[in-house]
């Protein structure tokens, strides 16, 4: 009797583990989660609507966060550079590009395993534009000239770009445009 109960418990535990694992994999599949990708940046534009795909909401549930309102805000996330390598605090990066037509934006460095507080951030009002209106942002542990985002001491990081005042007419165009290229500069 005890042996049969242990076998039943093992089967149930394996089923729960397989379910969690498969849900996590499905959340990374764009077709199942509604993710849109432009370069290294991903967005889940419909995660905040009433009939959102369940796996689109899972990305926000994992972070214990509410999905952005589809009316006025768009959130883009980058966990890799343009060559597909994970963003880590061991390397320095250069982000460059032209800002998209939005009312306001905030770019922040987050540590996935830590709290929701950004390690550092840069907002539209504080950004220094190049003479040709491009933005160049350096991301590293050590201070850099111009626009700089500080990386924490160790671990993996993600870049989160929140765009505010996104007009419905511009939304689709923004989702097809890479906001910033992410180039690894050097690693320690």
pLDDT digits (tens, 9 = 90+) for 40-93: 998 877 665 566 566 666 666 666 566 666 667 888 889 999 999 999 999 999
Model pTM? 0.77
165 lies in the same domain as 111: yes
55 lies in the same domain as 114: yes
Provide the pLDDT confidence category of residue 115 given band limits of 50, 70 and 90: low
Residue 49 has a pLDDT of 59
Cα–Cα dist 157/32, whole Å: 25
1 lies in the same domain as 89: no
62 lies in the same domain as 9: no
Quote the number of domains for the chain: 2
CB 47 within 8 A of CB 67: yes
Provide the pLDDT confidence category of residue 111 given band limits of 50, 70 and 90: confident
Residue 52 has a pLDDT of 58
Of residues 148 and 66, more confidently modeled = 148
For the domain that residue 56 is a member of, what is the CATH number? 2.60.120.600
């Amino acid at each position: 009797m005890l042996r049969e109960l242990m076998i039943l418990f093992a089967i149930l535990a394996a089923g729960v583990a397989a379910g969690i694992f498969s849900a996590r994999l499905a959340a990374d599949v764009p077709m199942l989660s509604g993710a849109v990708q432009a370069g290294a940046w991903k967005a889940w534009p419909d995660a905040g609507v009433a009939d959102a795909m369940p796996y689109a909401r899972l990305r926000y549930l994992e972070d214990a966060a509410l999905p952005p309102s589809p009316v006025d805000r768009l959130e883009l996330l980058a966990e890799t550079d343009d060559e597909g390598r994970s963003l880590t605090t061991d390397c320095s990066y250069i982000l460059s590009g032209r800002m998209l037509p939005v009312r306001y934006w905030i770019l922040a460095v987050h540590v996935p395993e830590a709290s929701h507080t950004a390690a550092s951030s840069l907002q539209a009002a504080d950004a220094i534009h190049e003479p040709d209106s491009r933005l160049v942002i350096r991301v590293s542990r050590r201070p850099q000239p111009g626009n700089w985002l500080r990386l924490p001491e160790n671990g993996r990081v993600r870049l989160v770009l929140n765009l505010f005042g996104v007009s419905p007419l511009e939304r689709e165009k923004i989702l097809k445009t890479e906001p910033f290229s992410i180039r690894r500069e050097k690693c320690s």
